Structure 1
């Protein structure tokens, strides 16, 4: 099972369409972790699980989504309500309350993934204005045979090998 994860697109539309087209036939779900800056009726974000970011004034998006995809429970939020720029502790506590296996968030524009006490935290970075690296990024999570593989891609769909990570994950 694969899930496409995007965040912090800040008004970009052509890029969202291109990424969606590129991967639509290989993923079971598409997650947008907020700051799309689009309204909730925008064609570019249809069929996405999308949350409200601190710059989302147009859409009527929820602050968080708890969704089961396959056999995994996802907690999706932008991150600004959980101080993710300074710590993941508040986000970790909320994920525990939600009984989530996987947390998808954005806000910091910093691509990264880590496994904390059995919970996988994924920030796909930003396809608009990345921080801590030059590439504009998004991620694809693949779950199979007790492993979680998180691959990061640049805007052109090229895999960023030095960011990609594999975890043992039940």
Structure 2
């Protein structure tokens, strides 16, 4: 399986389209909020998306749980979970919804870490990255019958920033 994760594109529909075209073989696309586009903007294609603190279309939801294969992905923007200070509230929510993977944005800082049996991932920002990072998005890849996950952070032109490996047992 392969999922592509974007966030914090702040009105740049072309960058969403660029990543979508580059990653055509993916099983699913996720946008973690602050697109500043209408919910039904055609650049989203079949992308799962949530409301960020800069999104005002009432069709957006604050969070989603999406099954991909045998895994459960929870996605939110992060501002409602205080992610700039701690992952604890988000971890509690992940446990509540039995998520294997948690996707969020808001801080514009890329990162991936495992907390217990859950992978937490922030793809960074494709427009306004912070923390000295380049513009970024992420992919997560895994085989259904295995517990090994590969997270790859990429620039918009698909240069690999970093790769990380996690073992996430099924719940």
TM-score by length of 2: 0.95
**Distance verdict in 2 for CA 1:126–1:59, change over 3 Å:** farther
Secondary structure of 2:113's counterpart equals strand
Distance in 2 separating the partners of 1:97 and 1:113? 20
* Alignment check: 8 A CA contact 2:112 2:122 kept: yes
Secondary structure of 1:96's counterpart equals helix
In structure 1, what is the equivalent of residue 100 of structure 2?
101
Secondary structure of 1:160's counterpart equals strand
Secondary structure of 2:8's counterpart equals coil
Distance in 2 separating the partners of 1:160 and 1:77? 24
Q: For 1:21-170, what aligned pairs fall within 5 Å after superposition?
A: 21-24=21-24, 26-58=25-57, 60-144=59-143, 145-161=146-162, 164-170=163-169
Distance in 1 separating the partners of 2:82 and 2:93? 12
Distance in 1 separating the partners of 2:131 and 2:27? 29
Q: Which runs of 5+ in 1 are unaligned?
A: none
* Alignment check: 8 A CA contact 1:138 1:155 kept: yes
Q: Which runs of 5+ in 2 are unaligned?
A: none
* Alignment check: 8 A CA contact 1:40 1:61 kept: yes
Moved over 2 A (4+): none
Task: Judge which range, 51-60 or 70-79, deviates more.
Answer: 51-60
After TM superposition, give the deviation of residue 59 of structure 1 in Å: 5.1
Distance in 2 separating the partners of 1:134 and 1:59? 32
After TM superposition, give the deviation of residue 70 of structure 1 in Å: 0.8
After TM superposition, give the deviation of residue 61 of structure 1 in Å: 0.7
- Provide, for residues 69-122 of structure 1, a one-character-per-residue CA deviation record: whole Å limited to 9, x for no partner: 011001000000000000000000011111101000000000000000110000
2:23 is equivalent to residue 9 of structure 1: no
TM-score by length of 1: 0.95
**Distance verdict in 2 for CA 1:22–1:139, change over 3 Å:** same
- Provide, for residues 33-54 of structure 1, a one-character-per-residue CA deviation record: whole Å limited to 9, x for no partner: 0001000121111200000000
